[in-house]
């Protein structure tokens, strides 16, 4: 198993106060600037760990094109550490005002996945050359301050090939404070190993509750969602379904405590 320098949320948060990324070129827009924080979070998958070696971040604006920055704390991040509302700061920078259209992560070589206690190399096509690129489409106003979250859907981003190797084909949701619909709740008992699904008109988001049963699903578009809590079939407990949960930006839809009961005979 390869040696890793894991980046935890608290470490990244403390280092964010001390370090700023180094910019590869200067602002040439002449139209003012805005501050942007890029944070990493995760929709989990059924793996033990998912390690990405994050070395830098590039932003594409209409004013300057691609601009590359160092990550605040370059290193190997376990994406599965960042779930149920936990995130970490990857980059904090100043960008020219105008349209931010794309972001990409520049990766190193130490990417891997741990499945059933065994670590496997993770192939990331073009990760080191062109990076993992995704669309943002955020208008940056002069003197504004913005936070953008990148949410890796781990369960849908990992492809196992026929020869048993693993490839990352990232499925990423991007959201800001203004486009962040959320659903939270608590599930009991956790001995049932429940999984939470929020089903919208066009997509389904997933959450694995923490040890206390708490879950938080973020980055949902506005709409009404069907929330299904699926216990392990071996638990003998029945799924719990809540229909038409309203998700609106700026408000957390709180389902309260959901107690799973025995399957009807």
Q: What is the pLDDT of residues 125-168, one digit of tens each?
A: 765 566 788 888 889 999 999 999 998 887 788 888 888 899 98
Residue 12: the pLDDT is 37
Q: Which of 110, 129, 132, 130 is nearest to 121 (CA)?
A: 110
Binning pLDDT at 50, 70 and 90, where does residue 24 land? very low
Residue 263: the pLDDT is 81
Residue written as token pair 């988001």: 205
- Across the range 103-124, mean pLDDT stands at 91
DSSP H helical segments within 60-216, as ranges?
154-157
Q: Which of 242, 62, 38 is nearest to 149 (CA)?
A: 38
Name the percent of the chain lying above pLDDT 90. 53
Q: Which of 210, 170, 204, 172 is nearest to 190 (CA)?
A: 210
Q: Which of 49, 48, 94, 90 is nearest to 71 (CA)?
A: 90
Domain ranges of the chain: 9-178, 181-259
Q: With 70 as the cut, is the pLDDT of residue 21 above it?
A: no
- Across the range 166-182, mean pLDDT stands at 87
Q: Rounded to 5 degrees, what are φ and ψ at 225? A: -120, 145
Tokens representing residue 246 in the block: 């309203």
pTM for the full predicted model:
0.75
Residue 85: the pLDDT is 84
Q: With 50 as the cut, is the pLDDT of residue 23 above it?
A: no
Identify the weakest region by mean pLDDT among 24-33, 203-212, 242-251, 256-265.
Answer: 24-33
- Across the range 67-77, mean pLDDT stands at 90
Identify the weakest region by mean pLDDT among 7-11, 41-45, 111-115, 240-244.
Answer: 7-11
Q: Which of 227, 152, 137 is nearest to 182 (CA)?
A: 227
Q: How far is Cα of residue 261 from the mean position of the Cα atoms in its chain?
A: 31
Q: With 60 as the cut, is the pLDDT of residue 192 above it?
A: yes
The domain covering 181-259 belongs, at the CATH homologous superfamily level, to Carboxypeptidase-like, regulatory domain (2.60.40.1120)
């Amino acid at each position: 198993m390869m040696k890793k320098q894991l980046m935890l949320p608290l470490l990244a948060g403390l280092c964010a106060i001390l370090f700023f990324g180094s910019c590869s070129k200067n602002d040439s827009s002449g139209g003012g600037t805005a501050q942007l924080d890029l944070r990493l979070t995760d929709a989990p998958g059924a793996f033990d760990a998912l390690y990405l070696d994050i070395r830098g971040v590039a932003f594409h604006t209409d004013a300057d094109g691609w601009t590359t920055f160092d990550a605040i704390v370059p290193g190997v991040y376990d994406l599965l550490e960042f779930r149920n509302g936990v995130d970490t700061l990857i980059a904090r920078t100043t960008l020219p005002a105008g349209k931010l259209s794309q972001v990409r992560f520049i990766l190193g070589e130490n990417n891997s996945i741990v499945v059933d206690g065994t670590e496997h190399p993770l192939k990331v096509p073009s990760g080191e050359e062109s990076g993992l690129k995704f669309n943002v489409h955020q208008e940056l106003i002069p003197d504004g301050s913005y936070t953008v979250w990148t949410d890796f859907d781990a369960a849908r981003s990992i492809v196992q090939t026929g020869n048993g190797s693993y490839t990352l084909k990232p499925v990423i949701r991007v959201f800001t404070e203004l486009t962040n619909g959320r659903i939270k709740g608590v599930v009991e008992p956790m001995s049932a190993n429940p999984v939470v699904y929020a089903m919208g008109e066009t997509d389904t988001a997933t959450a694995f509750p923490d040890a206390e049963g708490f879950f938080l699903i973020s980055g949902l578009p506005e709409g009404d969602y069907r929330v299904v809590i699926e216990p392990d079939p071996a638990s003998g407990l029945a799924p719990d379904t809540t229909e038409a949960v309203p998700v609106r930006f700026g408000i957390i839809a709180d389902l309260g405590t959901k107690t799973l009961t025995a399957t009807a005979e």
